[in-house]
Amino acid sequence: MFLIADEPASPGLEPSEGSPPPLCRREAYLDVNVVPEQDRDEQQAAVSRLLGRISELKSKQRHLEGRRREALNRILDIKGSIRVFCRVRPNSSSTVTTGSEKVTIRSAGARKDFRVDRVFPPEATQEEVFSEVEPIVRSAIDGHSVCVFAYGQTGTGKTYTMEGTAHQPGIVPCAMKQLFREASSMDDAGSSLTFSMSMLEIYMGSLRDLLGPKASSAKSSLNIQTGGGGCVEVEGLTEVRVVDFKQASHWYAKGKRARTTSWTSVNEASSRSHCLTRIAVGRPASGGGGAARAAEELVSKLWMVDLGGSERLLKTGAKGQTMDEGKAINLSLSALGDLTQILKDSLGVGSKVLMLVHISSSEYDIGETICSLLFARRARGVDSGEEASEELRQRKEMCIAELNWEMKDAEEGLQKLRTHLRQAEDQLQEKKKKLLLEGSPPARDGDPKGSPESPQSGGDKGGACRSHHPSSSLPRFMTSTVCSRQRRSAAGEVNGKARPARIKNLSAVDFSLSQSRSLLEPPSRLSSYGGKSRTAKVEAGGGGRFKSLPPLCVQGNLSCNSTDSRSPTLARSRKVSATPLSWRAPVSLHRRRMSDLT
Ligand SMILES: Nc1ncnc2c1ncn2[C@@H]1O[C@H](COP(=O)(O)OP(=O)(O)OP(=O)(O)O)[C@@H](O)[C@H]1O
């Protein structure tokens, strides 16, 4: 059988009565689309070989993606699962001086140093800030839940850092862009990821859905529901599926418009609320288990939170008050108390928390600046000025350098693999086309050899909804006191068992616990701090998975390996029934108490 070059490819086409003249047949024989009968088997074999090659490349790709992911996760573990950065707002003042990990406050002949994980001086750009945040955001793609908080005195640049401007985009838009970029570079695995977005604010004690239809954008009653496995859902919260950065930006702009801002004497566009942007990254649950199982998704959440100004009440609500450090810290803890219930499934084992503390360098703001830095110290889990020994720091740095190398190596390997994969897939398409033209169906694409496990689904996915009780692993600065637990148990939460909960009860309890705790503590002063060092954070057991690392990395207290078996995942489809009660007033409750004190 011959096909004529200009004719449409019609499998099984036979020469008709008025067949073309011999010349025409001869031309057709020279055409590239013509596959002589005897070549068919060879073509089929070539297709099979290509399918095998593609399968092999994909398997290597999964392996390298796994290596990259593990290396990143270990880097983040070594750096600490709760990290604190400090950004200093541009101001012409010498009260605050900065090093790469140190902020120094000078006032009235006194001086105090505060250590954080990274300092961004006034001249730091948005790109510089995001470059440090980026690995943490990336781990959301890898299946970990991530919370990024901007905290600090009003007017110090929290919204600037999180939202940015049209020309200087902040963390939220940059993170959205990065998530989609990462997903698109992951080929098959990336295309199975889903992204959905929600925005809410906590305003005057109520939750407001910022992406809801106009009618419901007024104060609405959203309930916090805790599923059996500890998964937290805000019932009724709008969740929009987004497929690219453009869509995500559109919804983000809508949410920002709905956010309540108003004028205060301190900041012309002061945020009067905590604004929470959530991007839920969904991936198919691995492990088979039939159609029902396949329909399930594992979800990790990236929360980006712009907290309301930390001292507004003291400065604008209670004018003329002398700054009291204890009260200010108390207020900041209370702000986080607002969020405890909403975020509790994203703050446990395996999750990454980043607190971006914003300070002003002005002498006038020194009280709030110190409060913010004290809070940063507390959040970081370092109660004393003593830091890890120089030796330990060096070991950490060595380990991180090795793991960075490992990650870079894997990324380069992935880059090459992608090129080979593209080439093989192009060749396969060519071959298939030819076989189709020939009239014989090409061999079916088989699944890649080996397990079709999604690269994101294996291993420790502490960030995806977990079946352990999340409150058992909340960061220390968000955990409850004995007093609050007693009150909580009186309110009906028995033995920490997860059960449907309304935020009204728990949030109010968390609030008062934070408050009572700080009020019981003596006000902090520049000179006296005591407590534990942070070295325990980098002590990770385990070994053997990074055998190529130098001995330094696996000896002593510090290991590049960390395994965590306590992070089973929970499919998002688990939901609990609605409780038609709204929650209200923890903030206003708190404010009343604060004003009682002032
Ligand atoms: N690093 C910075 N570089 C340039 N401008 C900044 C920077 N930080 C803050 N600003 C500017 O300072 C002003 C106040 O910042 P912003 O609104 O972000 O403060 P905020 O901490 O979010 O305040 P509030 O808690 O009251 O909402 C804005 O005009 C912002 O553009």
**Which pLDDT tens digit goes with each residue over 222-245?**
677 776 666 777 888 899 999 999
In this structure, what token pair is assigned to residue 158? 């929290």
Q: How far is the CA of 152 from the centre of ligand 1 (A)?
A: 11
Q: What is the ipTM of this complex?
A: 0.98
* Angstrom distance (rounded) from CA 471 to CA 404: 32
DSSP 65: H
Identify whether the C-beta of residue 477 lies closer than 8 Å to the C-beta of residue 336. yes
Residue 157 marked as a ligand binder: yes
Specify the pLDDT at position 338. Answer: 60
Specify the pLDDT at position 127. Answer: 96
Specify the pLDDT at position 204. Answer: 63
Q: Among 573, 538, 457, which Cα is nearest to 144's?
A: 457
**Closest ligand 1 atom number to CA of residue 160:** 18
Residue 152 marked as a ligand binder: yes
Identify whether the C-beta of residue 559 lies closer than 8 Å to the C-beta of residue 540. yes
Burial of 155-184, coded b for 16+ CB within 10 Å and e otherwise, reads bbbbbbbbbbeeeebbbbbbbbbbbbebbe
The single residue listed with the structure tokens 């099984």 is 12
Specify the pLDDT at position 165. Answer: 93
Q: How far is the CA of 164 from the centre of ligand 1 (A)?
A: 9
Q: How far is the CA of 154 from the centre of ligand 1 (A)?
A: 8
Specify the pLDDT at position 95. Answer: 81
**Closest ligand 1 atom number to CA of residue 269:** 17
Q: How far is the CA of 310 from the centre of ligand 1 (A)?
A: 13
Q: Among 420, 450, 428, 439, which Cα is nearest to 45's?
A: 428
Helix (H/G/I), strand (E/B), else coil: 38:
helix
Q: Classify domain 81-385+462-525+562-597 by CATH number.
A: 3.40.850.10
Task: Report residue 103: phi and psi, to 5°.
Answer: -120, 130
Q: Which of 88, 159, 356 to mutate to test the pocket of ligand 1 (most atoms within 8 A of CB)?
A: 159
Domain ranges of the chain: 1-33, 35-79+392-441, 81-385+462-525+562-597
Among protein residues, the one with the nearest Cα to ligand 1's atom 4 is 90
Specify the pLDDT at position 361. Answer: 85
Residue 3: partners with Cβ closer than 8 Å, 6 or more residues away: 9, 10, 13, 28, 31, 33, 34, 437
Identify whether the C-beta of residue 232 lies closer than 8 Å to the C-beta of residue 207. no
Specify the pLDDT at position 393. Answer: 73
Specify the pLDDT at position 178. Answer: 93
- Is 0.95 surpassed by the pTM of this model? no
Specify the pLDDT at position 36. Answer: 60
In this structure, what token pair is assigned to residue 155? 């007017």
Q: How far is the CA of 302 from the centre of ligand 1 (A)?
A: 23
Specify the pLDDT at position 297. Answer: 75
Dihedral angle of Cα 581, 585, 378, 105, to the nearest 10 degrees: 150
* Angstrom distance (rounded) from CA 349 to CA 343: 13
Helix (H/G/I), strand (E/B), else coil: 70:
helix
Residue 159 marked as a ligand binder: yes
Specify the pLDDT at position 286. Answer: 65
DSSP 98: E
Identify whether the C-beta of residue 201 lies closer than 8 Å to the C-beta of residue 217. no
| CB-based pocket (< 6 A), ligand 1 | 89-90, 152, 154-160, 267, 269-271, 308-309, 358
Q: How many CB atoms lie within 10 A of CB 106?
A: 14
Specify the pLDDT at position 133. Answer: 93
Q: Which of 160, 171, 357 to mutate to test the pocket of ligand 1 (most atoms within 8 A of CB)?
A: 160
Residue 156 marked as a ligand binder: yes
Q: How far is the CA of 160 from the centre of ligand 1 (A)?
A: 5
Pairing assessment for the beta strands 118-120 and 82-89 based on DSSP bridges: parallel
Specify the pLDDT at position 24. Answer: 38
**Spans of the chain, pLDDT less than 50:** 1-32, 215-218, 262-269, 287-294, 312-326, 328-329, 382-386, 446-463, 466-472, 480-488, 491-598
